[in-house]
Structures are given as structure tokens and as C-alpha cells.
Amino acid sequence: MARKKIIAGNWKMNMTPSQAVELVNTLKPLVVNDEVDVVFCVPAIDIIPAMEAARGTNIQIGAENMYYEEKGAFTGEIAPDMLTDVGVKYVIIGHSERREYFAETDETVNRKVLKAFEHGITPIICCGESLTQREQGITIDWIRQQIKIAFLNVTAEQAASAVIAYEPIWAIGTGKVATTEQAQEVCKAIRDCIAEIYDQTTAEAIRIQYGGSVSASSAPELFAQPDIDGGLVGGASLKPDFGAIVNYK
């Protein structure tokens, strides 16, 4: 069965709640496309107003992060229940900015992934290499390690429903998009790695996005690749361009 594309915006630390409502209202007529799952991952405080603004549309509102404990003395963190209580179904886990600035590791990513599944939330699991790693020729080894640890103790059924975002760090927010060949090569390697951990059926079901300076002009070729099932989009998700990305064909 053909995989449904999934195109998600990552708003990062942008948009106040009132700006979020405005942005959803601007984008909602532009992102209509039944062939694609459309997700806006927004700052925690924007989730409820963005959801209200998106009600009745094809837009799903997701979160940008979540903690791996149920509740308690973890000042400033967001618990999985807090997300499911308002209807969140997707959460970005292990974005490279979280790894770099907030000390997230492959191990904490794995704990968050397991917790998200426990609560029926689909994780969008990020992986990606630095420029040094690419230049040293260790991209695939590095990504395989990230994937193998992220999926520790995850069942095949859970893995089949997961989303992986391959985001080369050197391409995030830099305007330097990976070539179609580079993106396809790594996304295929990720799928092969999933087949190795689980089986071919799971590998064929899992959705793998490319992320890193995706624009309306680069999206059509990237999303036409056999192992690229959509994108995780930062900067361009805050603009009307996101409509063109969602309607890339």
C-alpha cells in the first residue's frame, strides 16, 4: 500500500498565541490537500488557540517537544497527558536544536519515543548529521546509530506508525538544501535500517520525511523520491509558501 505523505511545519520558538491564530487563518485555505497529512507543530502555549482556529480543516496541530515522565517535579516541562487531553496526535522528538541547546541525547529521545507511543501520540523522530560528519563520510553510520537507539524496545507495530525526519544539521535554517540524491540516499538507508531491526513490512509502512531548508521550489523533486514521504519544514512553514509545499505536485 502506498504511504500517505506527511508534511509538517515546525514553528520553533515563533508566534505568540494571537499570531498563531492569524497564521492558521492565513494558511488554512492554502494547505487543503486530501492526499497529504498536514501537521503544524507549534509552541506549547499556541496549541489550544491554533487548534481552535484549525477546527473543521485538514490541519492537525502537533507539539514540538514532550517530557518522558508522567508528571511531577519537572519545572517547565510538558507531560504527555497534557498533550492528549487537548487532542494532540503528533509530537516532534529529538530535533537537532533540542539536542544541541537542551542536551537531548539518543537515550532521552528513546525514552520520549516510548512515552509518546504509550500515550498514543505519533512521534516525529528527528535524526541528522553535522557537516563534519558528512565530510568525514560517516553520515550513514551516525544515522543508523541514532535510529537504532531511538527505536530500542519499540514494537514493530509502533514503529510502523512512526514518522522519522531526516534533517541534516547543516541544512537546517541555512538555505542550503541537501541534494535530492543525498536526501534519498539517507532516507533509503533509514528504511533499510528499520527493515534490519524489524522486517520489510514495517520498513515499507514507516514514513520518512526530509527536512532542511525545504522550499516551494525544492519540495516537488524531494517528495517525488521513492523513500521520501514528505517533509519537516521550519522557516517556510511560517509563510504562505507552506501552501505551495503542501500542494507540491
Other Cβ atoms less than 10 A from the Cβ of 87: the count is 11
Among candidates 72, 71, 42, 43, which has minimal Cα distance to 59? 42
- Residue 72 CB, nearest approach to ligand PEP (Å): 29
Nearer to ligand PEP, 129 or 167 (CB): 167
User: Using an 8 Å Cβ cutoff, are 57 and 25 in contact?
Assistant: no
Instruction: Name the one range near ligand PEP by CB under 6 A: 151-159, 178-186, 195-203, 234-242.
Output: 234-242
Shortest distance, CB of residue 43 to ligand PEP, whole angstroms?
13
CB-based closest residue to ligand PEP: 234
Least Å distance, CB 10 to ligand PEP, is 4
**What are the φ and ψ backbone dihedral angles of 36, each rounded to 5 degrees?**
-130, 140
Task: Provide, rounded to whole angstroms, the least separation between the CB of residue 241 and ligand PEP.
Answer: 10
**Residue from 104, 107, 167, 204 carrying the catalytic annotation:** 167
- Residue from 29, 87, 120, 173 binding ligand PEP (CB under 6 A): 173
Residues 6+ apart with CB under 8 A from 153: 110, 114
User: Pick the catalytic residue: 95, 97, 104, 129?
Assistant: 95
Q: Among 24, 50, 160, 172, which residue interacts with ligand PEP (rule: CB under 6 A)?
A: 172
What DSSP letter does each residue of 165-182 carry, written as one string? EE--GGGTTSS-PPPHHH
Check: CB of residue 43 under 8 Å from CB of residue 19.
no
Angle between helices 17-27 and 47-54 (to 10 degrees): 30
Figure out which of the listed residues 232, 239, 243, 248 binds ligand PEP, where binding follows CB under 6 A.
Answer: 232
Is residue 157 part of the annotated active site? The answer reads no
Lookup result for grid cell 517530557: 67
Applying CB under 6 A, among 37, 104, 167, 229 the residue interacting with ligand PEP is 167
Q: Which pairs with CB-CB distance under 8 Å and at least 24 residues apart come from 50-57?
A: 50/20, 50/21, 50/24, 51/86, 51/87, 52/21, 53/20, 53/21, 53/24, 53/25, 53/28, 54/24, 54/28, 57/28, 57/31, 57/32
Give the nearer residue to ligand PEP in terms of CB position, either 12 or 202: 12
Q: Is 167 a catalytic residue?
A: yes
Site map for ligand PEP, 188-227, x if CB under 6 A?
A: -----------------------xxxx-------------
Catalytic residues: 95, 167
Give residues in contact with ligand PEP (CB under 6 A): 10, 12, 167, 172-173, 211-214, 232-236
